[in-house]
Amino acid sequence: MFQDALASKRLELLKEAVPQTSRVAFVWNPDHPDNEQKEAQRAAQALGLQLHLVEVRRSDDFETALRAAKEADVDCIYVVSSRQTVLAIKRIVQFATSNRLPLVGGWGAWAKEGGLFSYGPDAIAMAARAANYIDKILKGANPAELPVEQPHKFELIINLKTSRALGLSIPHSLLSRADEIIDS
């Protein structure tokens, strides 16, 4: 699936941003249809990273799951966006912040909430494309005949405030590719 390909890119960016990373907590819901876990495992192995799988199926799972990640002595947190993780975004980012763990997420909200960076589809561009589809349908187009489209625009958002709080120096090569840099 589409999200699978993004998993390897996020891990590559994480390794570039935090080169000393070796153990990554992979926070995911195995029941979510856009499951990135297999591709993330493959990419992690190629990058010399070990993924510590942290399963969250319900909101009650977060406390136990995040505590297990801490006990596994992880260096960073990679969050797979799902309904459960997005609803718990503040809780997850707070955990990462209080434990001084860099966090990477799949779209801009993770970096804007205090994660180190996010890489994923541009949500505003996706909403505009959806509005275009709705317009076509309202004008009489048959939804079954409209092509399925993947996102066209991706954005890398880096939170320098978080980077400084963690004592990290983001390489210029990564900063120069950022679509947005949060610095306040």
Instruction: Examine the pLDDT at 163 and tell me if it is beyond 90.
Output: yes
Q: Which of 116, 108, 42 has its CA nearest to residue 75?
A: 116
The per-residue pLDDT for range 46-92, each reduced to its tens digit, is 999 999 999 999 888 998 999 999 999 999 999 998 888 888 999 99
Give the E-state strand segments of 56-179 in sequence order: 76-79, 103-105, 117-121, 154-159
Contacts of 142 (CB under 8 A, 6+ apart): none
Band of the pLDDT at 4, cuts 50, 70, 90?
Answer: low
C-alpha count within 13 angstroms, C-beta hemisphere, residue 111: 25
Instruction: Examine the pLDDT at 129 and tell me if it is beyond 90.
Output: no
Domains parsed from the chain with CATH numbers: 2-121+153-178 (3.40.50.2300)
